[in-house]
Amino acid sequence: MKQPEIQGDLITIETLIEDLIAMGVTPGMTLLVHSSMKALGGWAPGGPVDVILALEQVLGPEGTLVMPTHAGDLSDPAGWCNPPVRESWWEPIRRLMPAYDPDLTPTRSMGAIPECFRKQRGVVRSMHPQLSFAAWGGRVQDIVSEHPLEFGLGERSPIARIYDADGWVLLLGVGHGNNTSLHLAEIRASFPGKAETTAYAPILRDGVREWVGYPELDYDSSDFEAIGRDFAKDTGHVRTGRIANAPTMLMPQRQLVDYGVAWMERNRPADCAFSEHRSS
């Protein structure tokens, strides 16, 4: 019996390059990409590989491509809710969960494109067990070489190094709820209800696995969509278009973070209910 043909548009590296250039992506950019492969629609022969190669060809050897490669399941099982696990499992999970390995540990809820990207030859992944980023290109070491445990989206994180590099954010088929750069704004902003917490993860220290706790901000992304909408309206800095069939936004990260700081200081209420950060 003859199988039905694949439906939808054919998406190729060439068509993706055309769309990226039309969006305003240029050679030499430092570009942080949040993405949804599914949102592209149609059919790409190489799947996520096509997207990665198109991005790298547009950015060129002087550019830098960065993606979040978070592994939110390397965390304390007492806080898990999607799904939760029974309390009797907490101790053995804490004792036996494999330590973070940048080459082995998979991403969680990041999507097919960053999961593929982290394995590419020449890509370097940062050493944070939960909030890592992977980078390719001219500024790799500047972006990911230092990523300490404490405050993993703060001043010593890849997010802050992208800020220093006057980098850009590309939201490819996703909204501002995934816009991790706004967590740097949270770190920098002063607002009532801002709180710290202790996060936990398994790491290797001098070759020995350890279950460690470290200080972290109690992140909240519930107002990121509102911040993103207001940023676009008030500044005109957000370029909109489509990559294949995916609604896409391109924006300068430094201006976004600075705007986010001011927005949070004006608008976050004292009783703001924070939820533990999982992935963005």
Question: What are 158-177's pLDDT values in tens digits?
Answer: 999 999 999 999 999 999 99
Overall average pLDDT of the 40-65 stretch:
97
What mean pLDDT, rounded, does the chain reach? Answer: 94
What mean pLDDT is predicted for residues 245-271?
94
Percent of the chain exceeding pLDDT 70 equals 94
Over residues 181-197, the pLDDT tens digits come to: 999 999 999 999 999 99
The answer on pLDDT for 239 being more than 50 is yes
pLDDT at 226 over 50: yes
pLDDT band of residue 272 (cuts 50, 70, 90) is: very low
pLDDT the model gives residue 82: 83
Is pTM, for the whole model, over 0.75?
Answer: yes
Q: What is the pLDDT of residue 277?
A: 38
pLDDT score recorded for residue 129: 98
CA distances from 206 to 132, 209, 210, 252 (A): 20, 8, 10, 39
pLDDT tens readout for residues 123-140: 999 999 999 999 999 999
pLDDT of residue 276 exceeding 60, the answer is no
Predicted pLDDT at 8: 72
Q: Which residue has the higher pLDDT, 270 or 72?
A: 72
